[in-house]
């Protein structure tokens, strides 16, 4: 009887450890990689191959900077927000230089629409 209880506890412990060890993997890849994002933007905005490559390079730079910012361990959240705001402004300027003002306006409109859809999706799942 003691052996059975011990065995069940071991199995239960193993299941709990396995479940918690795998949980972070679900959140690890929320955003597509730079190549996928650049290809989608090229398709949505009819970009040239050169523009697509430049956008991909910019997205790769963004991912690197964002990772550095997260890992910097900046304790002051306000300083972090300001740095992120500054970086986003720089990236928007660079992106507009690559894709042009008209496509940048289209891109911003699409991003607003996507954010609206995500917000509505969040409301529906909360209900």
pLDDT, tens digit, 9 for 90 and up, residues 53-89: 999 999 999 999 988 888 877 678 888 888 889 999 9
Total count of domains within the chain: 1
Higher pLDDT, 124 or 94: 94
Q: Could you tell me what percentage of the chain is helix, strand and coil, using 3-state DSSP and rounding each to the nearest 5?
A: 85, 0, 15
Q: Residue 109 in 3-state DSSP?
A: helix
Which domain covers residue 57, as residue numbers? Answer: 31-97
DSSP string, 63-102: HHHHHHHHHTT---HHHHHHHHHHHHHHHHHHHHHHH-HH
Quick check: is 126 in a domain?
Answer: no
Asked if 91 and 58 count as a contact pair (C-beta separation under 8 A), the reply is yes
Quick check: is 74 in a domain?
Answer: yes
Quick check: is 9 in a domain?
Answer: no
Residue 44: both structure tokens together: 């949505």
- Predicted confidence band at 126 (pLDDT cuts at 50, 70, 90)? low
pTM of the model: 0.67
Higher pLDDT, 32 or 41: 41
Quick check: is 65 in a domain?
Answer: yes
Quick check: is 86 in a domain?
Answer: yes
């Amino acid at each position: 009887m003691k052996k059975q209880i011990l065995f069940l506890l071991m199995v239960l412990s193993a299941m709990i450890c396995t479940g918690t060890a795998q949980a972070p993997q679900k959140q690890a890849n929320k955003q597509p990689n730079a190549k996928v994002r650049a290809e989608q933007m090229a398709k949505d905005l009819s970009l040239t191959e050169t523009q697509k490559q430049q956008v991909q390079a910019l997205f790769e730079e963004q991912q690197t900077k964002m990772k550095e910012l997260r890992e910097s361990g900046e304790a002051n959240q306000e300083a972090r927000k300001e740095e992120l705001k500054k970086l986003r402004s720089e990236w928007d300027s660079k992106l507009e230089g690559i894709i042009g003002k008209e496509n940048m306006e289209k891109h911003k409109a699409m991003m607003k629409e996507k954010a609206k859809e995500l917000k509505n999706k969040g409301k529906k799942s909360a209900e």
